[in-house]
Amino acid sequence: MDLKITDNAIDEAMKLHRSNPAVDAHLDLAGEILLRRQGGEKDIVEKHYLPYFRAGGIRLVVSSVYVETSNLEHGWESALEQIRALKEDVKELAEVTLVESRKDLEDLLEGDGIGILLYMEGLDCIGEDLEKLSELYRLGVRGASLTWSRPNALGMGCCKALEHRQISGGLSKIGVQAVKRLEELSMFLDVSHLNDQGFEEVCRIAERSFTATHSGSRQVYDSYRNLTDQQIRALAGQGGVMGMNGCKYIAGSLEGNHLEMLCRHIEYETKLAGSGHVGYGFDLCDSYGRARAALKGERYTDRDDCLLDHSQVPLVSAALLQRGMEPEEVKGIMGGNFIRYFREILPVG
């Protein structure tokens, strides 16, 4: 059974979410938009996301561009299609802006709109051609993880699906060059989905802060998608922020104890690294799964997400408050820490 949140805790959390920006550092939004547009839908963000973003006080969403394994043969084209689809979908939405620079971020925070920041979840699509990073930058992409869970030309992913074994191997020479090129372009580096050896190499060669947009603690739940204590300390030590993953298979809430497990991860990471290095990166995938299933004429019956939608994000903040976390710490975790990180890492404008 999950935590029972009191009305007082919910009220306190809603006050925080109404007066401070909340951030979701990982959402497969671009890919879902493309799937739904291929199925004949329009105005996807407006219909499927904006009401929930508003209700949850979400001000900035980091949208991945993720190429499914079945599309890898045409990965570059798939990535470009997703970027175009997202831009097309939001271009008429006055309250939604694409965040490509620190100036864009500051302008966003001065108003009351919602920002979307594009990044690559895995760089399979560029092969060994690092010039394509410059093309992605030109298109507004401002970050990347080297790998998804599968291996590619740059390095090794962290695991093979749900198998409890890690794939060995570090970064390739091209992978090392990719880290340096991302830094030259002021694009953030995401280590979620990277394996342990690759993480160690990133620590040795990275000169700028990196992040883990959607990973939890491996000590709290033993998944290779989560970070070890040593990795969490290393990430925090160089100024990074890790986003708490809200997939039940990563959080470990297989018994339905979603809020409890999310809190356990966040509290453990805060104790280990300090509250300034923890945030939200929920990786909510059920809506994406429904879109993919609909395109195939199938029915999606799974529930992989710990939250129904973004309107429930304040419940996590309320649970943290109820369990004794200070409001100032919760303000940072719900968004302030990632805002600070992107202020530091994005190009000036």
pLDDT digits (tens, 9 = 90+) for 234-272: 999 999 999 999 999 999 999 999 999 999 999 999 999
Give pLDDT, residue 1: 61
Phi, psi for residue 49 in degrees, rounded to 5: -130, -40
pLDDT digits (tens, 9 = 90+) for 104-148: 999 999 999 999 999 999 999 999 999 999 999 999 999 999 999
Phi, psi for residue 72 in degrees, rounded to 5: -60, -30
165 falls in which pLDDT band (50, 70, 90)?
Answer: confident
Mean pLDDT for 296-322 is 96
Q: Name residues whose C-beta falls within 8 Å of residue 16's C-beta, 6 or more positions apart in sequence.
A: 57, 314, 317, 327, 330, 331, 334
**In the chain, pLDDT over 70 holds for what percent of residues?**
99
**In the chain, pLDDT over 90 holds for what percent of residues?**
95
149-153, 188-192, 273-277: least confidently modelled range? 149-153
Q: Are 55 and 307 in contact (CB under 8 A)?
A: no
Residue 271, in any domain of the structure: yes
For 174, the domain range is 7-345
What is the number of domains present in the chain?
1
Mean pLDDT for 9-26 is 98
Residue 123, in any domain of the structure: yes
Mean pLDDT for 189-207 is 97
Q: Are 157 and 186 in contact (CB under 8 A)?
A: no
Residue 181, in any domain of the structure: yes
Give pLDDT, residue 167: 81
Give pLDDT, residue 332: 98
CATH number at 174 reads 3.20.20.140
DSSP class of 311:
G
Is residue 133 classed as helix, strand or coil in its secondary structure? helix
Residue 329, in any domain of the structure: yes
Partners of residue 166 on adjacent β-strands: 159
| pLDDT for residue 220 is more than 70 | yes
pLDDT digits (tens, 9 = 90+) for 60-117: 999 999 999 999 999 999 999 999 999 999 999 999 999 999 999 999 999 999 999 9
Give pLDDT, residue 349: 85
| Average pLDDT score, the chain | 96
Give pLDDT, residue 10: 98
Residue 339, in any domain of the structure: yes
CA distances from 144 to 54, 111, 187 (A): 27, 27, 7
Give pLDDT, residue 161: 58
Residue 1, in any domain of the structure: no
Q: Bigger pLDDT: 161 or 231?
A: 231
Distance of alpha carbon 284 from alpha carbon 214, whole angstroms: 10
Residue 2, in any domain of the structure: no
Mean pLDDT for 181-196 is 97
